[in-house]
Amino acid sequence: MDLPDGLSLSLPAARTDRLVAVAAIVVLLEGLSRILLAVAVGPFVESVWSYVLPILVPPIFATLCLGAVVPALREVNAADGPGKSDGRNDGNEADTDEASEPDQREWLEQVRSRGRSLLAVAVGGHALAVVAGVALFVLIDTPIRYGLYLLGRGDLLAPHVVVYGAFLGLAFGTLVAWAVPAVAVVRVADGASARTGLREALETTVGTPRALARPFALHLGYVVFLAATLVGTFVWLEVTVPNGTEFGSIEGVVLPLAGSGLVLVFGSAAWLAASVALAAGRFDATGARGSWRPPSVPVAQLAVAFLLVTSLVTTAGLVRAGEIRPVDAEPEPLPDDPNGIYATALENTDRSDHVYRYSDVGDGGTVIETHIDRSDRQLKSVSGEDGPVTYLTSAVSYGNFGGPFDGSGSEAIAVPGYLVWEESEQWSESSARVGEPDPAEHDWTIRDATDDELVLELEDPDDVSAALAGGELDERFDEPEVHEASVTMTVDTERNVLVDGEFRFAVTDWAEVESADEIDGVETGVTTGEQVNESSFDGVTAAVADDESTDRQPDATDESADREPDASNEPPGDDSDGDHEPTHDAHLELDYEVDVDVERPEEVGPPGPGELFWRLFAY
């Protein structure tokens, strides 16, 4: 395997293959150690750290192994001579390889003598690369996402894009930034101390940044290669697995994953070998290749560069952590027709920072209060005075809200729960909030109007039933008798938002009454006179199955087959008083407030490290 053309260090083919083989072993060791670390710490840490810790671990194997081969690379290149830097040795390649056979002993000696300094560079250099990687990610990613929000395309930043984009952005930024510590690895391999190597790496970055142009380009090319391979694998699995291919099948999953793994290993090995060859040749201060000397940069210049970069990163970080982004909260004007008025007022309310209060008056005053802060991406829901609390932000989830993190209970977990909730809300065809009339209903009328308010009303029982539970009367009941049915919603015509609303719905389903009367001694889900709470989260309560479902055929000896039905069980007509309590009775009240802030519940506690991580990365 040949290294890429144009590198400043050329090697005989055999030595190039040996270098790539060493790099492949290093890649496998680094990859496997990170996988084992993620598996080992997974049960004991928050889920976010299972992905972040493998990125934060220094590349110990890579630094030791590649730092150890630098002197050997220089010796081989010097043996080739200046006139053979193109890789040709005029037929003496075998002599060169034979003369350099004891490389393994030299490498072990290099590790023994320089190992401690190389370890220090691995730790210190990786810390520098991680910080620089975070800075690169923040400086590049923030304006891109701000632009998407400005253009109204924040929907492109789905939860999986935000979550996995954070991990990949941190990893890719760290890989690109390692072009700087690579200089320190070469310098330590040449005999410099770890502190001197790191200082000279920083001085080279500030004093002669052009010297790092090709290393940075090589690292950036590797990141593009990684991204293309990962995206290609993901697309392949998305295309093949849903089309009838079993997830564990060889042709559908195992072969693509194995192929991608081989591509990643050998591609990474080629990049690593090329990187160490380039760094060893370009930053050679021993005189074997030239007269490169690290630049002498005044401390003041280093300080100015540090302050400039720090100020830019801090500004971008504050924008991200403070949720500073364009939000379209300007209310749309109300149209003239009542149907459009309700739909527009509902949308204006939902886009604002608001509180939605749901009160089930007919069920003992159950109250659910939901605070939604669109600007800061927060949601807080409280059920009753002492009921459970749900709190979601772009960095933490607390309580149960029916998402993939449902079941967290009273423990705050560092996941962007608000983003998951927001995506599910965007994909719903109607309002996701309990008790709110579906904006798809189109039979609103204006009952009352003042200078600053409109009162909209639904009077038709079918419309009221559909608004309350998503189905008309005939779809939900067999023999309904409507006692009361109305929905009113008040609209603030100055701010074009909803103010409050009220549901009244009382129905007797005589089929249920008959079933309850005919079943003697058996408890049923609905008994005569029992009021069913129509306003539960499911919106519909179970009814007793009709006796006809048993398909019982009348017997000749069965007197009930010829018996006249009891008039008391028939729906009341003109000659019946119909005095029967509703089997379905609902009385709901809705209240709204806009332009509110959501306060963090005391139950959630102070932010932890995982939440702070997402505050910065989940923008």
Q: Tokens 């109305």 belong to which residue?
A: 486
Count CB atoms within 10 A of the CB of residue 269: 21
Structure tokens at 440: 């798809």
| 302 within 8 A of 310, measured Cβ to Cβ | no
In angstroms, the CA 270 to CA 24 distance is: 8
pLDDT of residue 438: 78
Q: Tell me phi and psi for residue 233, to 5 degrees.
A: -65, -45
Tens of pLDDT along 112-131? 778 889 999 999 999 999 99
In angstroms, the CA 175 to CA 35 distance is: 17
Tens of pLDDT along 479-535? 667 788 888 999 999 999 999 999 888 887 666 666 655 554 444 443 333 333 333
In angstroms, the CA 604 to CA 562 distance is: 67
In angstroms, the CA 487 to CA 504 distance is: 6
Residues in contact with 6: Cβ distance below 8 Å, sequence separation at least 6, in sequence order: none
pLDDT of residue 581: 74
User: Which top CATH class is 338-402+414-512+587-598+606-618?
Assistant: mainly beta
Find the helix or strand (DSSP H, E) in which 457 lies.
strand 453-458
pLDDT of residue 510: 67
Q: Mean pLDDT by 10-residue block, N- to C-terminus, for the chain (619 residues)?
A: 44 64 90 92 85 93 85 60 43 45 61 84 95 95 94 89 93 95 90 90 88 93 94 79 54 76 92 88 68 78 90 95 89 91 91 89 78 92 82 88 50 88 65 70 84 89 77 67 85 93 81 58 40 35 34 39 40 47 79 90 89 94
| 149 within 8 A of 82, measured Cβ to Cβ | no
Mean pLDDT, the chain, whole residue set: 77
pLDDT of residue 65: 85
pLDDT of residue 563: 38
SS3 of residue 307 by DSSP: helix
Structure tokens at 24: 């492949």
Cα dihedral 216/222/224/227 (nearest 10): -140
- pTM summary value: 0.76
pLDDT of residue 84: 44
For 81-120, the DSSP string reads: -GGGTTS--TT-HHHHHHHTTTHHHHHHHHHHHHHHHHHH
Parallel/antiparallel/unpaired status of strands 366-373 and 354-360 = antiparallel
SS3 of residue 359 by DSSP: strand
pLDDT of residue 208: 86
- The domain ranges of the chain are 15-78+105-243+251-284+298-321, 338-402+414-512+587-598+606-618
**Residue among 579, 577, 587, 511 nearest 549 (CA):** 511
